[in-house]
Amino acid sequence: MTPDDAASPQPSGALQPTSSQHGALTQDAAPSPVSAHSVRPVTGAVPTAPPKVPWVAVVVYTVLAMALAWAVTLPLWLGDGLADPAFGWTTPLMMYTPTVAALIVTFFIVKPKHKARYLGLTPFKPVWRSIILILAWPVIFGIVSVLAALLTAAFGLAELGYSTEALEPLAEQAGIPVDMLVLLQFVTIPLIVVQATIFAFGEELGWRGFLVPALAPLGFWKMSLISGVIWGVWHAPLILLGYNFGRTDALGVLMMIGFTFFVGVLLNWSRMWCRNVYVAAVGHGALNSVISIGIIFLVFEEETPDGFLQTAIGLPGWIVLAVLIALMAVTGFFGRRLPKPLVTEPRKVSVKFGQTQGVTPEWAQQAEQQRAAQRADTGEIPRQT
């Protein structure tokens, strides 16, 4: 915005520019502050003020998501647990319960004007940043899995080697050699990630689509801690049946909370860095697809590895993820490099000849006054009000 030199009236005491014989302008006094009456029309997206946490919506969302998860997995509890045939359809259905809860609270409690933007569905910007991270996710989590396997071996909890025992039943079922099955799994990772992302999106529209923006006013780390705990507890209907860690007690749920916190930090960061939920959904899908890939490089004494001590979702993976997060933290990825605010409402602001359409933020008025004074001091424009 620049001072309007044509339509603004001259108040008493205002500086009057005078012309010399060579046409130069001279000034006799200091400039008066620039007012809203002296700026030209400006339109654009204006960041909203940091909102407060909608705690009612957060509580309702949490209760709904968890209640729906328990309701969907009830056939497993009434049947044979993880061995029940219903496991094949209850798990994907459970992954969409956060979406249902998020849509309910967004439409009926929070009720933002631009709901798709609030949930991170639009816009898909910045495009290249999002595409690069989408392509990088399988590599990132694949490296985490392999490093966790090396760490497991370094702790003496397993031996390095090439073990395909866990894949032999699948190879026999497919009628192909086990080494061929391993090769096919590596080659088809992109397709596996796409398939996993379809189901992971059901979770991410809730966790990163709704919950992250809702808790964002608390700051990145408090938001990540709270959302990580909620996300981990949400898994309880499966964890208490022995899923992931082979435990059927509260300790298994605590282990899951630890994993969801560390992974949640990365996915929360992607939501804020890329401002859309799709990047986080692909990251979740890639996580589910490749996080166990390091196991084929380990040989275990027991037939089934310990989920907490010998896999990437347990302690070895936590350590690798913690190191990665620490490196990102010291390089500013969780602070100065995050765009602010997370959610912006597209609002048009027009200030024209003293008539304001919309709302001009105070910071914008102050910034314009400072720029106008600087331009006047350098002789770029004549001082006037």
What is the mean pLDDT of the segment spanning 25-31? 42
Say whether pLDDT at 10 is over 70: no
Say whether pLDDT at 366 is over 80: no
Q: Which range has the worst mean pLDDT, 143-147, 281-285, 335-339?
A: 335-339
Q: Which contacts (CB < 8 Å, 24+ apart) does range 136-140 have? A: 137/193, 137/282, 137/283, 137/285, 137/286, 137/287, 138/189, 138/190, 138/193, 138/286, 138/289, 138/290, 140/266, 140/286
Q: How high is the pLDDT of residue 156?
A: 93
Q: How high is the pLDDT of residue 380?
A: 53
Say whether pLDDT at 28 is over 60: no
Counting beta carbons within 10 angstroms of the beta carbon of residue 359, is it exposed (0 to 12), middle (13 to 18) or buried (19 or more)? Answer: exposed
Q: Kindly report, residue by residue over 319-328, the tens digit of the pLDDT.
A: 999 999 999 9
Q: Kindly report, residue by residue over 180-203, the tens digit of the pLDDT.
A: 888 888 889 999 999 999 999 999
Proportion of the chain in helix, strand, coil states, percent, rounded to 5: 60, 5, 35
Where are the chain's structural domains?
Answer: 1-10+32-46+351-385, 55-330
This prediction's pTM: 0.76
Judge contact between 197 and 56, C-beta under 8 A: no
Q: How high is the pLDDT of residue 377?
A: 63
Strand, helix or coil at 18? strand
Q: Kindly report, residue by residue over 232-253, the tens digit of the pLDDT.
A: 999 999 999 999 999 999 999 9
Say whether pLDDT at 44 is over 80: no
Judge contact between 317 and 337, C-beta under 8 A: no
Write out the two tokens for 74.
Answer: 């009830």
Write out the two tokens for 221.
Answer: 């780390």
* β-bridge mates for residue 159, sequence order: 299
- Let me know how many helices (H) and strands (E) the chain has, helices first: 16, 6
The more confidently predicted of residues 305 and 163 is: 305
Whether omega for the bond prior to residue 126 falls within 30 degrees of 0, making it cis, is: yes
Distance CA 35, CA 4 (A): 10
Confidence of residue 269 (pLDDT cuts 50, 70, 90): very high
Say whether pLDDT at 20 is over 50: no
Write out the two tokens for 198.
Answer: 């379809």
Q: For the chain, what is the mean pLDDT?
A: 82
Confidence of residue 347 (pLDDT cuts 50, 70, 90): very low
Distance CA 132, CA 90 (A): 33
Say whether pLDDT at 14 is over 70: no
Q: Kindly report, residue by residue over 97-109, the tens digit of the pLDDT.
A: 999 999 999 999 9
Strand, helix or coil at 272? helix
Say whether pLDDT at 49 is over 90: no
Q: Kindly report, residue by residue over 155-170, the tens digit of the pLDDT.
A: 999 999 877 776 777 6
Q: How high is the pLDDT of residue 18?
A: 39
